[in-house]
């Protein structure tokens, strides 16, 4: 393995964003993802609570 070259992987829109976006743009994306994830988790917990309470 020493001395072998890594195969180049094709760039993706996400990798381009991570490579070239400003820290504030990355932070906005991260915050949006976290907010959406929290919302989905809260909905899942509420749904589970409804099933338990029946």
pLDDT in tens, 1-54: 577 888 888 899 999 999 999 999 999 999 999 999 999 999 999 999 888 776
Q: Is the dihedral of CA 44, 45, 50, 54 positive or negative?
A: positive
Q: Is the entire prediction scored with pTM above 0.85?
A: no
Distance CA 54, CA 46 (A): 13
Distance CA 11, CA 17 (A): 10
């Amino acid at each position: 393995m020493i001395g072998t070259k890594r195969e180049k992987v094709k760039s993706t829109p996400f990798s381009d964003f991570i490579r070239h976006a400003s820290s504030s743009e990355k932070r906005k994306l991260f915050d949006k993802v976290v907010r959406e994830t929290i919302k989905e988790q809260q909905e899942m917990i509420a749904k589970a609570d409804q099933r338990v309470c029946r």
